[in-house]
Amino acid sequence: MTNLSTYQNRSLARKIKNCQSCSRIDLRKEKITDSDIEIIIQEAIINKQCTMLWLIDNQITSKGVSILTSALYNNTTLEGLSLCNNNINDNDVLNLTKPLSDNSSKLNRLALTSNNITDLGAQYLAEMLLTNQTLTQLWLGFNKITDNGLKLLMNVLTYDNKTLHILSLVWNEQITDSSVDIVINMLEHNQTLRTVCLSNCNLSETSKLKLRKETKSHFEFYLDL
């Protein structure tokens, strides 16, 4: 870990200190690196007890994710975390799922849009959803998830997880018509999911029509195609 006695980012620390306590702290496009993560943990998560932490479009690598993950254990205040557009990979996803798998964190929104997550990362997330009881929103758009990864997620939502409300997989262009039936099967069994986003995947108009027809009978459910 970075030694806080030797590394300082006064402008970042000042920006966080100016934020309200127990609120969202938005640090998007702040050129944040791994060296800044301990500052963020101390100032934003511990001191400010932020409820939402947006780290979108920064320069965080696996080292920074590992440090950040340590702060998720026994977390009682942070409810939302966004790491969109940070080159998050499958191993990073595995780290992030550990505190969520044993419900050591109260995180209910996890946004990992625009990263480098493949079916292996989807597998880790599916395994986490087997036991997690807090996550209600999972954003995975603009990644590299295929029909196989979607199948893993749909299976756990069909038979095990009853807490997730929103799942976004927009712009995962390797999701095809092969996934339509398993999505429909999930919808027939899951009574808690409220939104599934599959727009700009590789679905034909015929498949979209089939999915829309199926969701007509599901009140309070929104399907984004």
When pLDDT is averaged across residues 122-137 and rounded to a whole number, the result is 97
Contact present, 163 and 135 (Cβ < 8 Å): yes
Instruction: Kindly indicate the confidence band of residue 5, based on its pLDDT and cuts at 50, 70 and 90.
Output: low
Evaluate if residue 108 carries a pLDDT over 80: yes
pTM: 0.95
**Residue 166: φ, ψ to 5°:** -130, 130
Q: How far apart are CA 184 and CA 186, in angstroms?
A: 5
pLDDT in tens, 156-167: 999 999 999 999
pLDDT in tens, 153-209: 999 999 999 999 999 999 999 999 999 999 999 999 999 999 999 999 999 999 999
Q: List domains and CATH numbers for the chain.
A: 22-224 (3.80.10.10)
